Structure 1
Amino acid sequence: MTDALAGRTVVVAGSTSAAGAAVVSALSKAGARVAAVDILEDRVRELAAAHDNVTGYTCNLADMDSVDKLAATVRSELGPVDGLIHLVGGWRGGKGIAGQSDEDWDFLHTGIMTTLRNTSRAFFDDLAESPVGRLAIVSAESVASPTADNAAYAAVKSAAEAWTLAVADGFEKEPEGAVTSAALVFVVKALLDERMRAAQPERKFPGFTHVDVVAEAVLEIFATDAGELNGRRIRLGTSSKAKADEALSGAQR
């Protein structure tokens, strides 16, 4: 797996989130050149300083001009991009359909969908031309079973999934021959990290996926054939590398 990532350049968007930090750490240890991107400058700087091969970038990913400048800078400093792990998001709920506010919709759409749309467009050519190009997002089980209270969140996550699958189709239509790039969706009930456990030590968090499992799954996709991943929705388990491996092997069958 280390060989698959050694010297590869991977952009992690939303890098200072719990999942983002776990993914950055795993990629760094695997030998990748990591572009850790977030809007929080101090936290990006701190994250980059804590790992080898990690360069921090501050960017408003909701602004396309800023993302284009980011892409040009990353290419100049780290080289063409081989991976984009998009972990920008957030959650807002409401009381019933009538309680889905415009403010919450704008927050979710901007944070989840607009940032994905911008980053995937800016880095698409790099990913399509890479021999191991990968785009991955994390989505939610609620997309398949939305509730009235969660309508806005589920709808925006559904749009993000559709966009990612459209990117997968774009990879299929790139230069003739075997597919070398893949866009895919990791599906979880919810994410879990150690701060959540510490805050509620009595809680069991049933069905939650630990951020370390997401990190392990990200490493695995670079060592898995693109043709077996492109356009897939992969349900991640609750814990351990074995669970991540099992999810990916299930997607390959």
Structure 2
Amino acid sequence: MSDGDATGEGRVTGVAGRTVLLAGGTSEAGRVAAQVLTAAGAHVIIAARDEVALGTLRETLPGIRTQRCDLTDETAVHDLGERVGALDGVLHLVGGWRGGGGLTGQTEGDFRALETSLTALRHVSRAFDPTLRDSDAARTAIVSSTAVTRPLAGGANYAAVKAAAEAWNRAVAHGFAKHARDAGEPLRAAAVTYRVKALAGREFALADAFARLWDDDAAAVNDTVVTLG
């Protein structure tokens, strides 16, 4: 299948039957991920606050479920967890870009706007941690940036937030490993970080890589960083 084929049909089997949440999945990346995961046999739930965008996805992607939720609102995310119930995976897609203007152009307003992606990640990972641990094969992933390894002055806010998100995701991975170790059980959950220079044009690569996580042992992929393109 070419990189541009966003069906994923026939390529992924381990994710079949799994229930996966796309957090902030109303973007093009969310649409492609929903297509790939659904074609592979997964049950897809998209959570976001834009009801119009969610409605469009329901019309164009038969079989998906949607949940309206402000992922930056801790109480709302807790309620989302109660509504969704059992879950096997989360792909975090809350993001955005603000930058330029060198270091002095990095405004506090821009930082706070970017910080919402980290806030959403924290709320969602905490709310769904218990049910992901209960899954016999849980996989979570975030989308980070290659800017983390070489932050530029004009993207200092962006790189700082992405670095913080990576640190949080590594803590999630540690929590999965510790839970399994303390229970004397094999590791069944994994948290992965995907880095991209720019997500535009790499949506299918992200979706395919995420879906394929269920084809690998959790211990092999937990707390790993994968650069896409």
TM-score by length of 1: 0.82
Long gaps (5+) in structure 2: 1-10
Is 2:118 the partner of 1:126?
no
Conserved? CA contact 1:36–1:48, under 8 Å: no
Runs of 4+ deviating beyond 2 Å: 48-53
Partner of 2:151: 146
Is 2:109 the partner of 1:99?
no
Residue identity over aligned pairs, in percent, reads: 41
1:223 to 210, 215, 220: 215
After TM superposition, give the deviation of residue 3 of structure 1 in Å.
3.8
3-state DSSP of counterpart to 1:190: coil
Give the partner amino acid of 2:46.
A
1:170-229, Cα deviation, whole Å (9 max, x unpaired): 000113221110001011111124xxxxxxxxxxxxxxxx21111111111111111011
Is 2:229 the partner of 1:188?
no
Is 2:187 the partner of 1:179?
yes
Long gaps (5+) in structure 1: 194-209, 238-253
Q: In the aligned structure 1, how far is the partner of 2:156 from the partner of 2:62?
A: 41
Partner of 1:206: none
Name whichever of 51-60 and 176-185 sits farther off. Answer: 51-60
Partner of 1:74: 84
Is 2:46 the partner of 1:36?
yes
The number of residue pairs the alignment matches comes to: 216
After TM superposition, give the deviation of residue 90 of structure 1 in Å.
0.4
Which of the pair has the greater relative contact order for Cα pairs under 8 Å at 6+ separation? Answer: 2
After TM superposition, give the deviation of residue 50 of structure 1 in Å.
2.3
Q: In the aligned structure 2, how far is the partner of 1:96 from the partner of 1:50?
A: 41
CA RMSD of aligned residues (A): 1.2
1:1-30, Cα deviation, whole Å (9 max, x unpaired): 654222211000121111111101111111
3-state DSSP of counterpart to 2:185: coil
3-state DSSP of counterpart to 2:14: helix
Conserved? CA contact 1:93–1:152, under 8 Å: yes
Give the partner amino acid of 1:73.
R
TM-score by length of 2: 0.91
1:88-139, Cα deviation, whole Å (9 max, x unpaired): 10000031222211110100001x1000000000101111121111110111
Give the partner amino acid of 1:21.
R
